[in-house]
Amino acid sequence: MTTRSAARARGARGVLAAALAAVAVVASGCGERDQPRASAPAGASAPPTRAGAGVSVAMPRGWHLVRPPITSVVFPADRLLLTSYPTKGGGNCAPDRAVRDLPPDGALVSLFEYRPQRGDPWQNLRRRDFPPRPAHFALRARDRSTFECWRVPSHLIRFRAADRPFQMHVALGAKAGAARRAELRRVLDSLRFTALPAPPPDPYAGWRTLTDETGDSLRTPPGWRAAATSSPRRYPRPRALFFASNRRQAGLAVPATRRAPHRLPGPFPARALDAFAADGVLLWVREEPRGPASPDFPRRPVRSWPQPRDFLPAQGGPAQRWPQLRWERAAAASSRQRFSVWVISGASASERDRALARKAAAALALSGGSFRDAPCRRGCRIG
CATH classification for the domain delimited by 208-382, as one of 2.60.40.10, 2.60.120.1690, 3.90.780.10, 3.30.420.40: 2.60.120.1690
Q: Determine the residue type at 257.
A: T
Q: How far apart are CA 96 and CA 239, in angstroms?
A: 26
Contact 303, 287 (CB under 8 A): no
Q: How far is CA 104 from CA 8, 24, 84, 100, 180, in A?
A: 38, 27, 11, 11, 11
Q: Residue 65's Cα: distance from chain center in Å?
A: 23
If one counts every other C-beta atom within 10 angstroms of the C-beta of residue 140, the result is 9
Contact 281, 344 (CB under 8 A): yes
This prediction has a pTM of: 0.66
Burial class (CB in 10 A: 0-12, 13-18, 19+), 190: buried
Per-residue pLDDT tens, the chain, 383 aa: give them: 444 433 433 333 333 333 333 333 323 333 333 333 333 333 445 789 999 999 999 999 999 999 998 987 778 899 999 999 999 998 878 899 999 999 999 999 999 999 988 888 998 899 999 999 999 999 988 778 888 788 899 999 999 999 999 999 999 999 999 999 999 999 999 999 999 999 999 899 889 999 998 889 999 999 999 999 999 988 999 999 999 999 999 999 888 766 678 999 989 999 999 999 999 999 999 999 999 999 999 999 988 899 999 999 999 999 999 999 999 999 999 889 999 999 999 999 999 999 999 999 999 988 876 778 877 766 565 54
Of 99, 106, 110, 128, residue with least CA distance to 29 = 128
**Torsion (CA) 102, 108, 165, 30 in degrees, nearest 10:** 150
| DSSP secondary structure string for all residues of 80-121 | EEEESS------SSS-HHHHHH--TT-EEEEEEE---SSS-T
Q: How far apart are CA 220 and CA 380, in angstroms?
A: 23
What's the DSSP call for residue 176?
A: -
Contact 182, 43 (CB under 8 A): no
CA angle 73, 103, 105 (to 5 degrees): 120
Q: Where in the chain is the domain with CATH 2.60.120.1690?
A: 208-382
SS3 content of the chain, % helix, strand, coil (to 5): 20, 25, 55
Q: Residue 124's Cα: distance from chain center in Å?
A: 14
Burial class (CB in 10 A: 0-12, 13-18, 19+), 61: exposed
At residue 281, the 3 state secondary structure works out as: strand
Q: Determine the residue type at 11.
A: G
Contact 226, 13 (CB under 8 A): no
If one counts every other C-beta atom within 10 angstroms of the C-beta of residue 236, the result is 8
Q: How far apart are CA 224 and CA 209, in angstroms?
A: 12
